[in-house]
Amino acid sequence: MAAPNPTTTTIPTRPTLRQTFSGNSFIHDHQQYKPLVPINQNIGDVLGSSAESRGPLSFNPNPISPDPEKVTDSGIIHSMFNHQTNPLATGTTQLVATIYYKSSDPIHPHLHPDSSSNAGPGNKLPSPTVPVGSAPTVDMEKIPREPPAPEPEPLDHLYGPYVSQMCLTNFLQVIESLPTPYQRMNTSHRCLDRDDQPRVVEVTFSPPPNPEYLTFTDLRKHESIWRFEREWNVEVVLQKESVFRRHKRLAVFDMDSTLIKNEVIDEIAKFIGVEKEVSEITARAMNGELDFSDSLRERVGLLKGVPADVFEKLKSVITIAPGARELCKALKCLGFKLAVLSGGFQPLAEWLAGELGLDYAFANHLEVDTASQTLTGKLVPSKPIIDASQKRTLLRSLAAENSIPISQTMSVGDGANDLLMLHAAGLGVAWRAKSKVQLEAPTRLNGESLVDVLHLLGLSNQDIKELAADVA
């Protein structure tokens, strides 16, 4: 028997650890657990041929016949998290975040002249400003000379000028990062104005952060939420979900710069040429720099000698705020009691109540000289001054008079003298308010129309249209 030719003998390749147990992907690393498919067969050959006709290189990939011969669902769910049908106990507290896109007030309205396609020759960067609601004053001269905090990237410019999918995702990431210790949340959302590119979205999530680590009050003003608002050019209003959030029965409003766009006392001052002096006092009072009662007496003193019929003349220049009529009509249709609580003056408050269908009007009473039919520059001593404390008292007394729990009340205002009633009501909304008020109020909104307040009650645009049609 001839000896084998040593030149044709092949030496087996020495196995190496790298080739056998490692690879460049998870799948390659685990190929050792799968039988190799012969290189001279394709998938059709493997599936179509029988075990007897496959040839010497064929193989049976599953020699053990399955029993039963049918793949069935094991019922096991594989998840990174502890998945359960109902992971949260019945009655778990829920929070509602209403997210408004600020389409009328972009945070980054100015592009650098070097990068803007609309920049013209000689264009300069705008003067630095302080965002409304981020400091007690927006006067740059009163801000400490420290380097300003870097502005966040305007992500709405990248993902769209509305509450985008990425905006919602980022919000949920922010919320989930706040509780300590970490807990998985259940969330859902509704688009309140339109499904495509919504401006107002309501997000419900539970459970809320443990109050031992983060109270609801602190959550409302958390730095992470403030930064999220700046990045996406939105405003977030947080409320505890309950039947009283959706079903309120009493709403009270400030008048000047809330239900109307004017400051009445400033309009009166125009008649006698002291508008500048009065406006300066008004601005300081609304920012909380002056005691309201003292500032009111000081301003009223400047009106001495003004004809008593000035209020009739003012009616033609008073501008009712956008959305005020629609808001009041919708609330009346829902059965609300409505009131105006104004630091202004009674004649115009009563006129506005008639215009908007309000049930109550409370304001300050100016003393009139009956002989000359002019203002004396004093307040009627027998009538209380409608200051911050009196507004809160009126809110509570109106609620008690109508047997309405305070949790079913809502207040809306813009000045420092509104803060007490904003905190006392079940829902207090600072509407386009002064900087100090936005910082201290429980809720703030800076939209174009007061109709936005209705979304805080969970009403969609379709709901608001139905209410308007019912009123008509």
Catalytic annotation, residues: 254, 256
Distance between CA 159 and CA 169 in Å, rounded? 12
Q: How far does the chain reach from its first CA to its final CA, in angstroms?
A: 113
Question: What are the Cα distances from residue 394, in Å, to 277, 384, 389, 400, 453?
Answer: 30, 11, 9, 10, 21
Token representation of residue 269: 């001052």
88, 70, 71, 87: which is closest to 79 by C-alpha?
Answer: 87
66, 81, 280, 262: which is closest to 185 by C-alpha?
Answer: 81
Distance between CA 333 and CA 322 in Å, rounded? 19
Distance between CA 365 and CA 380 in Å, rounded? 6
Q: Following DSSP, what letter does each residue of 216-275 receive, concatenated?
A: HHHHHT-HHHHHHHHHHTEEEEEEE-SHHHH---EEEE-TBTTTBSS-HHHHHHHHHT-H
- Which uninterrupted H or E stretch holds 328? helix 324-333
Close Cβ partners of 190 (under 8 Å, ≥ 6 residues apart): 201, 202, 460
Token representation of residue 322: 């956008």
Close Cβ partners of 420 (under 8 Å, ≥ 6 residues apart): 388, 389, 391, 392
Token representation of residue 111: 């592009």
Task: Could you list the beta-strand ranges (E) of 262-310.
Answer: none
Measured torsion, CA atoms of residues 414, 419, 422, 428, in degrees rounded to the nearest 10? 50
Distance between CA 144 and CA 140 in Å, rounded? 8
